Structure 1
Amino acid sequence: MLRRKPVATLIAESAGKGGDGQLRRSIGLWQLSAIGIGATVGTGIFFVLSSAVPEAGPAVVLSFVLAAITAGLTALCYAELASAIPVSGSSYSYAYATLGEATAYGVGICLLLEYGVSASAIAVSWGQYLNKFSELAFGFRIPDWLAAPPGDGGYFNLPAVVLVAMVTFLLVRGVSESARVNAIMVGIKIVVLLAFVAIGLTGYHSGNMHDFMPFGWSGVGVAASSIFFSFIGLDAVSTAGEEVRNPRRNLPLAIVISLVVVTLLYVAVALTAIGAQPWRKFDGQEVGLAQILQDITGQSWPALMFALGAIVSIFSVTLVVIYGQTRILYSMGRDGLLPAKFAKVSPRTGTPVWNTLVVGTGVALLAAFVPLDILTDLTSMGTLVAFAVVSIGVIILRRTNPGLERGFKVPGYPVVPVLSVGFCAYLVKGLHPITFVFFGGALLVAAAGYFGYGIRHSRLGAAAAESEPEPVAVGAAD
């Protein structure tokens, strides 16, 4: 349970020694930054205000800042570990090198919540914007029972299933093609959000900011906990460690670039939205940002264009988070903690096709049948736990392997990683109680998987057993 994988072994495996095939290094700095931005912008800002604003009021702006500070502290820790251990698997691989095998397996399950569940949450909201666009453009609306989030008037979210199917097909085709498509979509979503800020500010009323913090700091903390899942893009950057050119330089740079762009966009959009509409109107509002544009201008075309941009943006986010999940399963399969099939890579496309199909199926089922609020809180829980593990891993690796080559070092060590863990713990405390029940169930599944399969098939354990000398029978006639 406590055996740790040497960093040298992780890096050697990333060069093709272990697993059935090798991931191809085909991603540059700007494509990698686009992966980070693409996984982040769009997860929360297009739909989370309808649930976060009623919890914090206009002070939801501070909730975004609090979440961004937590993400920023953790981003610095990710940058150091990603530059020192440039492999796939993200915080799972980092935990394996610092905290041991059992913890790494648990982190793998947390990442399943972070990526797989977040992809489902994002896909659920796609149908709402698709309905808004079709209604404004063609006067047609998909029935709510077939397009609304489960538990909120919907029974089976067909648009979410279609979205996941399209993303899965693109990822099976190859990562370089997916990265190029994602980079284009990221450009579109940034333009759309900047246009929202430009138009939205024309309807800004300072009176909407009055009663700025109706629920006090506790409301700010609760809202920050709920929206934190929208910062998972920083983690998605590190999942591409084995497919990045010059990873020791490009991984930390892409993480920092992603954080800066995302934080500026989130705060600008939140300020604009709150200033343009009384905060009480956000409660339960569908496609809120598009509706704000329609109310401000009195015309449908700005809302139509924004809804179209949201459709593209949510596609991009779903693409990146499903991509990240498949790479984590690939790493776990290569380590023997999951069946070997998860470590197979297609010789034609250089992608783990089996992983992609499994993840796509699971995400589609969750999006089709599970309510949105449960999905978002589970994502926040998995993300925060994984982030805290990374920060702890920085401290451990500095002590156990101080001479390891690092392309980036956390400034203000050890204060920054300690603060990162503290902020993560604070946000975990603000999650809804039912989330802890579901998270406890996920950990039980992790324990069953590890003790039922992983601990007996671990390649690291097998290597250790082979290196032990054979026992000698005492008193043998020989």
Structure 2
Amino acid sequence: MSSDCLPQDEQRESWIAHAPPIPLNPTADFPVNPPTFRESQLDIILRRQRTRPQGGGGMKHASVPSSRFLNLSRDFEFAGWGSFSRIALTAGDHAVAEQQPGVANRPKLLGQLTASALSGNDVLGGVFYTLPAVLAVAGVYSPIALFASTLTPFLWRPMMEELASALPISGAPYSYMINVCRKSLAIVGAALLLLDFTASSVVSAATAASYLGGEVVLPFPSFIAAAVVVGIFALVSLSGLKESARLAFVVLAFHAVTMLMLGVLASVYWAKIGNTQLRQNWTQGKAPSGPAVARQLFSGFCLGMLGLTGLECTPSYIGRIKPGRFPLVLRNLHLPAIVLNTLMVTLALATVPLTTLLGGADVLSAVAEVSAGRWMRRLVVADAIVVLSGGVLIGILGVCELLKKLAHDRIAPQIFLNALRFTDAPYISVLAFTACNVVMYASSGGSLSIVSKMFSLVWLTVMALFPIALLSLKFNRGRLPRDNKTPLSVIIVTLMITAAVFAGNVAIDPSTAGYFSAYLIGVLAVFAATQNQVRLLHVVYWTYDQYPVLHRWSVTKAWGNSLVGLMGRLKRQPICILVKTDEINHLLHMILYVRENEETSCIKMVHFCDEEQCEIPSELEANARILDEAFPEITIDLIIVQDSFVPVNVTSLAHRLQIPTSLMFMSCPGSHSHYPVAQFGTRIISL
């Protein structure tokens, strides 16, 4: 049917929907190629876009109301039209960027030994509370169970190394999760990590206090002694990270010397008495049947993995470890743990009667007293108090890094970024963590048993985050450069082992699941409130809006106006997305991520354009205008930065726009990228 046969309106729409025909004769005066998007102006014709006011403002009127509130105009939901601008970074912007850590490739603070010492006090100090727990359920089969459990990090180490090489960012595994999957899952990981640090510090401090109370008569209850231990190391942390790391190294060295002395003296005593005590213990403690042996081995394997607590803390401060040292740190923590746990439990069974080991006495203290006398027992007790107190330090350090990361991501309040002038210590984070320790210990009734049970499940769940994060990285961010790649079979086997050990710990004492769930729900409720402030305020105002009488009282009306102003201020906090292409589907996915995961009504869409080869994608401006109209609740500003896309320029732009780099989002870099993502400090939100 020809166009002449169509009604007049359809003829007009048919004409609008098609571009003018292009002549096929190359000698004609018309161009061979079709006009560009900008030249044709078909974006305005096809979309019938309303002309925007020259001075800004205005609205895109719709046929349906754009506000869910009865007493607010549609202006409340409309964020305003976006803008297009070009900027050039100044020398002042570059000067500020050069002062930021990591931009100028400054050397990291922690080397192999000091980085190992921070987590080493937790990993190697776990022998004091792991051995009694394993002996209680595994008996004479404890050496086998402990040896098997300490071999499991051979599965985790390659995964942790791959994640660290891809994303060497402090705050892991939260920092891994937020870059490879949804933000909601990352917040769950942050809650688990916060519980892990807190429970680790409480257990270490309370165990140290119990050792002290077993040797001397304290003038106050043991829970006060635990609070004193936490307070002392909080003051140490306020003196600065560098001093804390050196102190941790001294504590670890003292522990290593003490354990070496105990191992030598116990071995000499074993050689002196022969295998008589070992045979007696075996005869007394062997299981009557095969299923009973398997049950004891499995229970011992489940509890024996607690001897590795602290290994999960190492990635939390990876941003402060020198490049290339992280695999060495994991090795330094893992191999000594295998030797220490297996050797000490074997020496205990060879030198001390089984009834004594199962009678609640400290295992290593009993070994020391039998092998060398009272003086060695006192040295071991002193070592237990010192090294377990050092375990508090890693908890404080890990929480400080985590809260700093959460504050930059606007999940935690910005007050956690405050630091002391002279030591640069995050004092608000340290004080808040100390308060969390007190709350957790007090809510458990001062029971070390309750906190320890909860700690076992939290630790296992945190360790499960590493294979989950790596699986998400392989699926969602497969282009991200990294040093090595872990086989998929290793990830699946690790997840299966973690699930089995988790179920085994719950089977040993089902009440652990209740404590774990209660603490996790509490922390998640706090994070959900801080992450969804605007949504919660919307609910509060909507409830207030349902009662018209409240709008007639001056007091409540003023309160409602202040609530509207607060919601507006919170939503005006800008977010930056760094774009390279003009493909509208890619731009749309990035904006949808921001809308679903961040509370903002202002997006800065930034494209870096090198001054020498300035090639702006032809459809970028038009597509930005389309998206700006598609999301009336978000203002989308397109900014062209006349400079190259390098870390120092991204940091300079962050200073120019007053947006932290943690709130600058980008797509996943590929193998062609000349800079690791850690130097940018940005978040990856798309493939």
Contact 2:532 2:599 in 1 (8 A): no
Show the counterpart of 2:392.
318
Q: Tell me how far apart the structure 1 counterparts of residues 354 and 99 of structure 2 sit (CA, whole Å).
A: 53
Contact 2:122 2:388 in 1 (8 A): no
5 Å-filtered alignment, 1:329-478, equals 329-367=403-441, 369-410=445-486, 413-431=487-505, 432-456=509-533, 461-462=597-598, 465-467=601-603, 469-471=628-630
Match of 1:206 among 265, 278, 291: 278
The answer to which structure has the higher strand fraction is 2
Q: With the length of structure 1 as denominator, give the TM-score of the two structures.
A: 0.83
Which runs of no fewer than 5 residues in structure 2 stay unpaired? 1-96, 271-276, 535-572, 576-593, 604-626, 633-687
Q: Tell me how far apart the structure 2 counterparts of residues 359 and 35 of structure 1 sit (CA, whole Å).
A: 17
Match of 1:50 among 112, 127, 132: 132
CA shift, 1:227, in A, is 4.1
Q: Tell me how far apart the structure 2 counterparts of residues 449 and 338 of structure 1 sit (CA, whole Å).
A: 9
Show the counterpart of 2:296.
219
CA shift, 1:16, in A, is 8.9
CA shift, 1:81, in A, is 0.8
SS across alignment from 1:285: coil
CA shift, 1:355, in A, is 0.8
Q: Tell me how far apart the structure 2 counterparts of residues 74 and 81 of structure 1 sit (CA, whole Å).
A: 11
Contact 1:80 1:252 in 2 (8 A): no
- Sequence identity (%): 20
Q: With the length of structure 2 as denominator, give the TM-score of the two structures.
A: 0.59
Match of 1:257 among 332, 342, 352: 332
Instruction: Give the AA of the match of 2:521.
Output: L
SS across alignment from 1:469: helix
Show the counterpart of 1:110.
192
Show the counterpart of 2:374.
300
**How big is each residue's C-alpha offset from its partner over 1:197-228, in whole Å with a ceiling of 9 and x where there is no partner?**
21222344321244445742223323333343
Instruction: Give the AA of the match of 1:158.
Output: I
Show the counterpart of 1:238.
315
Match of 1:31 among 105, 114, 117: 114
Query: Quick check: 439-448 or 261-270, which moved more?
Result: 439-448
Instruction: Give the AA of the match of 2:478.
Output: P
Instruction: Give the AA of the match of 1:301.
Output: W
Q: Tell me how far apart the structure 2 counterparts of residues 366 and 327 of structure 1 sit (CA, whole Å).
A: 20
**How big is each residue's C-alpha offset from its partner over 1:219-267, in whole Å with a ceiling of 9 and x where there is no partner?**
3323333343331222121111222222xx1122211221112222111
Q: Tell me how far apart the structure 2 counterparts of residues 76 and 103 of structure 1 sit (CA, whole Å).
A: 23
Instruction: Give the AA of the match of 2:296.
Output: G
RCO higher in 1 or 2 (8 Å CA, sep ≥ 6)? 1
Show the counterpart of 1:68.
150
CA shift, 1:126, in A, is 0.9
Q: Tell me how far apart the structure 1 counterparts of residues 169 and 188 of structure 2 sit (CA, whole Å).
A: 19
Q: Tell me how far apart the structure 1 counterparts of residues 229 and 350 of structure 2 sit (CA, whole Å).
A: 32
Q: Tell me how far apart the structure 2 counterparts of residues 328 and 245 of structure 1 sit (CA, whole Å).
A: 19
Q: Tell me how far apart the structure 2 counterparts of residues 16 and 126 of structure 1 sit (CA, whole Å).
A: 42
Q: Tell me how far apart the structure 1 counterparts of residues 528 and 628 of structure 2 sit (CA, whole Å).
A: 25
Change (3 A) 1:279 1:408: farther
Q: Tell me how far apart the structure 2 counterparts of residues 206 and 395 of structure 1 sit (CA, whole Å).
A: 45
CA shift, 1:456, in A, is 4.3
Change (3 A) 1:185 1:388: same
5 Å-filtered alignment, 1:139-288, equals 140-142=216-218, 146-147=221-222, 157-204=223-270, 205-207=277-279, 208-210=281-283, 211-212=285-286, 215-246=292-323, 249-288=324-363
The answer to which structure has the higher helix fraction is 1
Q: Tell me how far apart the structure 2 counterparts of residues 55 and 101 of structure 1 sit (CA, whole Å).
A: 40
CA shift, 1:439, in A, is 1.9
Contact 2:369 2:377 in 1 (8 A): yes
Query: Quick check: 175-184 or 440-449, which moved more?
Result: 440-449
Change (3 A) 1:391 1:52: same
CA shift, 1:276, in A, is 1.8
Query: What's the Cα RMSD here?
Result: 2.8
**How big is each residue's C-alpha offset from its partner over 1:80-121, in whole Å with a ceiling of 9 and x where there is no partner?**
112221111111111212232111111112112221012111
CA shift, 1:360, in A, is 1.8
**How big is each residue's C-alpha offset from its partner over 1:395-421, in whole Å with a ceiling of 9 and x where there is no partner?**
2212333332324443xx112211111
SS across alignment from 2:412: coil
CA shift, 1:365, in A, is 4.7
Show the counterpart of 1:153.
none
Change (3 A) 1:270 1:399: same
Contact 1:36 1:254 in 2 (8 A): no
Contact 1:123 1:367 in 2 (8 A): no
Q: Tell me how far apart the structure 2 counterparts of residues 420 and 167 of structure 1 sit (CA, whole Å).
A: 34
Contact 1:114 1:229 in 2 (8 A): no
Q: Does 1:81 align with 2:158?
A: no
